[in-house]
Amino acid sequence: MPEQATARAATVEFEHVTKHYERREAKDGALGAVNDLSLVVPAGKICVLVGPSGCGKTTSLKMVNRLIEPTSGRILLDGVDAAARDVTELRRSIGYVIQQVGLFPHQTIAENVATVPRLLGWPSARQRQRAEELLQLVGLDPATYATRYPVELSGGERQRVGVARALAADPPIMLMDEPFGAVDPIVRERLQDEFLRLQETLAKTILFVTHDIDEAIKMGDLVAVLADGGALAQFGRPAEILASPATPFVARFVGADRGLKRLSLRRVDDLELLPPVTANVRDMGTADLLRALASSFPWLLLVDDLGRPAGWIARGDVRPGVPLADAPTVAAEPLVDRSATLKDALSRLLDADVHAGIVVDRERRVRGLVTVAGIAALLRETAGPDRGPGEADPLDLGDAMP
């Protein structure tokens, strides 16, 4: 992967931004109005604007690159009023990705990607080089794709090209309007994952519009929930919004399964793992083992000489003086990766015979157990507006909340 990382990102600040539509305008566009929107997106963060259709999320996005001008209020980019900047210069400094991608059918993929560099008058050799770098970055082999036309690509490939094109001139801000909305769910999930991985190095300031609360929770460092009429209903970290919806509207919008949704925000790493009662496969059953099992998770975990899981024995099958190898064993499952989300971990637990996940490290050595009770305890602990452990707050949202 070519050198990509730049620290360039800008804060985006909405200051009492309002957009009313005249009746005539409102008729031909389904764009929603925006009502006194104030929020701050810190540099390098992904802020997702989410809400039902007509809630003004796309309008809000398009006011940043001035495809729509606000009726009142200001949008500050790194402290500078967007309205004070030359509009074409402003737009060239902001990456823009839309749902239908909007690739130019008459240009090759490389030409499409180099759009903004070309507008900025880069030398053509540098344009070409930049296009190849970016295709590589989004996982498209330049040798295969550079000279093709958009019509020859699949929907997912086109979306990648759309992202590459938006990144071409290394803009500090990206606007993404349902960028993964037009592809099937499997491709969408892959594109989301890839984009989050990219963002780890790019660290752009990203405004991301979606109507899908699950996507919002997954993609957002911050989520702004907009209600009908374009009012900001809640603005905060995804975990906060799920744990304590500010209004009944937000609660309805995030859904009755918000408890389950929160599971996808946390990883096994966040849990305090339960230490398992373990024994080597060649050991004998002992009274000590039975005592330990009585006060802990009631399954004995057999490990091999290297500390890797070899099987489960139920407490009732452990007999003092009898070799453990003679006891009936259950396969050592489910193995759970430390970076798995709690949602995936829980799903594995519920499917298995033994309702505990064996967390292993890279060498497959046992690190501990994850249990349903442990997951529930973590959620209880982090319910409410206070932050979960390990979530030191780099964001000052104090002024941003209405």
Partner 1 sequence: MNIHWDWIAGNLDEIAGATLEHLELTLIAVGVGFALSLLLALAIYRWRRLYGPVAGVAGLLYTIPSLALFAVLVPFTGLSVLTAEIGLVGYTLLILIRGIVSGLDGVPRDAVEAATGMGYAAGQRLSRVELPLAVPVIVTSVRLATVTTIGLVMVTALIGEGGLGQLMLRGFNRGFPTMVYVGVVMSVVLAVTLDLVLVGLQRLLTPWARKRTA
Least gap, CB of 172 to partner 1 (angstroms):
14
**Of the residues 90, 173, 268, 369, which one makes contact with partner 1 according to CB under 8 A:** 90
Q: Which amino acid is at 217?
A: I
Q: How many CB atoms lie within 10 A of CB 379?
A: 17
Residue placing its CB nearer to partner 1 in the complex, 65 or 371: 65
Window contacting partner 1 (CB under 8 A); options: 3-11, 89-97, 196-204, 336-344: 89-97
Residue placing its CB nearer to partner 1 in the complex, 25 or 381: 25
Least gap, CB of 150 to partner 1 (angstroms):
8
User: What would the two tokens of residue 222 be?
Assistant: 């911050």
Note whether 6 binds partner 1 by CB under 8 A. Answer: no
Instruction: In whole angstroms, give the CA distance from residue 234 to residue 211.
Output: 15
Window contacting partner 1 (CB under 8 A); options: 114-122, 185-193, 222-230, 349-357: 114-122
DSSP state string for 249-282: HHHHHH-TTHHHHHHTT-BGGGSPPBPPPEEETT
Token pair 């298995």 is found at 352
Residue placing its CB nearer to partner 1 in the complex, 100 or 247: 100
Note whether 184 binds partner 1 by CB under 8 A. Answer: no
End-to-end CA distance of the chain: 42
Instruction: In whole angstroms, give the CA distance from residue 166 to residue 97.
Output: 6
- Strand pairing partners for 356? 371
Instruction: In whole angstroms, give the CA distance from residue 111 to residue 98.
Output: 18
Instruction: In whole angstroms, give the CA distance from residue 28 to residue 34.
Output: 17
Note whether 96 binds partner 1 by CB under 8 A. Answer: yes
Strands 80-81 and 72-77, by their bridges, are: antiparallel
**Of the residues 151, 186, 306, 392, which one makes contact with partner 1 according to CB under 8 A:** 151
Note whether 27 binds partner 1 by CB under 8 A. Answer: no
**Of the residues 19, 57, 92, 218, which one makes contact with partner 1 according to CB under 8 A:** 92
Note whether 104 binds partner 1 by CB under 8 A. Answer: yes
Contact footprint for partner 1 (CB under 8 A): 62, 65, 67, 88-92, 96, 98, 100-107, 115-116, 119, 148-149, 151-154, 157, 165-166, 175
